[in-house]
Structures are given as C-alpha cells and as structure tokens.
Amino acid sequence: MSQYKVRLTDTTLRDGSHAMRHRFTEDQVRKVVRALDDAKVPVIEVTHGDGLAGSSFNYGFSAVDEMVLIQAAAEEANQAKIAVLMLPGLGTITELKEAHLRGAKVVRVATHCTEADVSIEHFHAARELGMDTVGFLMLSHRISPKELAAQARIMADAGCQCVYVVDSAGHMIMEDAADRVSALVDELQGDAEVGFHGHQNLSFGVTNSVYAVRAGATRIDGTLRGLGAGAGNSPTEVLAAAFERLDIETGVDVNALMYAAEEVLRPMITRMPIMDRASIMQGKVGVYNSFLLHAERAAERYGVAAHDILAEVGRRGYVGGQEDMIIDVAVWLQSQAR
C-alpha cells in the first residue's frame, strides 16, 4: 500500500483560461471535461481565470458566460466534481449560488495570504449549500510558514475543508513549499486537509508538489500541458506520471491524461506559456502570475519592457486585484526613460 494518497484537481479550464485570454468555448470545455473525466480526475475547475464574475474590463472578458461553461462541464462529468474559484469582492454569494445550481460541487475561495478573514461568509454560505470547501492563500511566499498557518486556521474555523498553499508567482523552491505545508498540517491537526498549487516560473512546480505531498499535502493542482498564468502550472499529466514513479497514489489513468493533454487540449491552445524573460522575472521577484498578459499589453502600448514592468511591480509589492496599477508602472517607467 502506498504511503501517500493524493487527490488531483485539474484547473486547465480555470487557470488555463489566463493563457487562452478567457476564450474557451462551450464545445472546448465539454471535450476537455470528457477527457479528464475519462482519465478519472476527481475534481475539474471551471471558471474565468479570475474566478466567478471575473469577466470584466479589469480582468478581461470571457468569450462565453462562465455559468454556461459550468453547466456544460457538469453535464459532461460522470465521476468528477466540478469546482469553481471565487475571489471575495469580485465574485459574490449570488454567483456562488447560481454556480451551484448549474452543477458546481466544490468552491475554492481565494484571498491574499494575509486576508483569510474576508472569506468567512463565503465558506459559511458554501457549507450551507453542501459544497466541498477549499481555501486558497494566494502569494503564500509573502509571509512566513507560521503566519500562513494562522491564516489557514481562520479559514478552517470558518468551515473550509482544505486550505491550499498557493505559489501564485512560481517563486517557491522545495523547502519553501514543504515548510509552509508542514506548518499548516501542524496547525490544522486534521481539522482541514492541506493542498498545494504550483507554477513553473522557476521550473519547480512538479518538484514543489512532491515536497508538498511528503510534508503532508493531500490535494495537488495541475493543468494539462501546464496551461496557465505566467509560465504555466504544474502539468497534470507530469504530476500523475511522477507520482506514479514515486508510489504516490492518485487513482488517475496516466495514459488517458497524456491523451487528454496531447490529443484533446493541444489543438485548442492559442498561446503556450513558456519560461521566458518576463515569466522568469515573475518567479524571481514573486509577482502574481496573472499579471503577465497585462504587463505585456502595457509594454507594447507604452514602449517599455514587460520584464521591467514586472520587476517594478514586485518591488512595489502589488497583489492580485491590482492589475489596473500595472498601467501606472508602465507610464512611470516610460517617464524615467525620457
């Protein structure tokens, strides 16, 4: 019997939406969900990249209403649960209730790593709906393991059943992830599970996920082909193959996952995330990964380098939700160059 057992969540149709500029169609969602479901992936996340109600001028408009996509996903899934992401202050309990009516069974409530208290009413509402509740502590590298554990306790006490260490910038390296996961495990003492969400900016997404499992994480995120914000996420099919090699039980069909990645998703991809100068800079200085496309657009408009914008964003300590301030940075850099 394996020493470790992990529940994989595939977030291609949410985090991958960033790389697709939120242009997934209903037909594409149905095809990806069918392939992931056939591969026995237990949880599939579907929303705009920035969660419920994310389709907006600030974050980018979706091609298809996310409620339509959630319902389509739920109709295609035979064994998988459909999850949605929500950021308090953007998505509301009204959207959560509609997503639940459309078939969502899991909600992942995301806050900045120091602001867990803004999630409390959302967890209460989700538990009343009978949903599986997950907390996302974004940019988890920004605070110490002990401080992060205290924030996780707030979520768990509010009814969160699993709290994630979220490496939103792909900044963590090995013990950075393990120490935070271990701190949460010690704090929660079985009151909630612990998960890990990794990105590939410094090419440590899969490695960090292994370290997280060995530190006590029981839920791990990935996306097919690593499709996602910044340099992309830990690839689900690579996670599954690596976990199989390491005798970490997932219950998924690795060959079916590779088919889903190569034959189903790849033809849909309009932009493949890569570890280029800008995305490496995000990992280096710890900048929220969804900032990348916003920085690239600002760079083109104002004639400054995207990696310089991101370096300055990191210096200023911007967090998720401050995408509009990227323009201010670009304008400032332009003025400095004159």
Is 119 annotated among the ligand-binding residues? no
236, amino acid identity? T
197 marked as binding residue = yes
Q: How many CB atoms lie within 10 A of CB 139?
A: 22
| Paired residues of 193 in beta bridges | 162
Burial status of residue 13 (CB atoms within 10 A of its CB: 0-12, 13-18, 19 or more): buried
CA separation for the pair 330, 283 (Å, rounded): 19
Alpha-helical runs (H) found in the chain: 16-19, 26-38, 66-76, 93-101, 120-128, 145-157, 175-188, 205-214, 236-245, 254-259, 277-285, 291-302, 306-316, 325-337
Q: Could you tell me whether strands 7-13 and 4-5 are parallel, antiparallel, or unpaired per DSSP bridges?
A: unpaired
What the block records as the tokens of 151 is 């924030």
CA atoms within 13 A on the CB side of 116: 25
Local structure of 108: helix, strand or coil: strand
The CA-atom distances, in angstroms, between 209 and each of 3, 22, 203, 286, 315 are 16, 26, 12, 18, 27
One digit per residue, pLDDT tens: the chain, 338 residues?
678 999 999 999 999 999 999 999 999 999 999 999 999 999 999 999 999 999 987 788 999 999 999 999 999 999 999 999 999 999 999 999 999 999 999 999 999 999 999 999 999 999 999 999 999 999 999 999 999 999 999 999 999 999 999 999 999 999 999 999 999 999 999 999 999 999 999 999 999 999 999 999 999 999 999 999 999 999 999 999 999 999 999 999 999 999 999 999 999 999 899 999 999 999 999 998 889 989 999 999 999 999 999 999 889 988 888 888 899 988 998 998 76
One-letter identity of residue 247:
D
Q: Is 171 annotated as a binding residue?
A: no
296-300, Cβ contacts within 8 angstroms, sequence gap of 24 or more: 298/326, 298/327, 298/329, 298/330, 299/330
Residues β-bridged to residue 112 = 138
pLDDT of res. 57: 77
Q: Is 199 annotated as a binding residue?
A: yes
* DSSP β-ladder status, 132-138 and 106-112: parallel
Distance between CA atoms of 296 and 86, rounded to whole angstroms?
25
> What are the chain's domains?
4-268 (3.20.20.70), 277-337 (1.10.8.60)
For 153, left (φ over 0), alpha (ψ -120 to 50), or beta? alpha
Structure tokens at 293: 């496309």
d(C-alpha 81, C-alpha 67), whole Å: 15
Helix axis angle, 306-316 to 277-285, nearest 10°: 10
Active-site entry in 18, 22, 48, 100: 18
Pairing status of strand 106-112 against strand 81-86: parallel
Say what the pLDDT of residue 277 is: 94
pLDDT reported for residue 103: 98
Please confirm, yes or no, whether 171 is among the known catalytic residues.
no
At 128, list the tokens: 């009343």
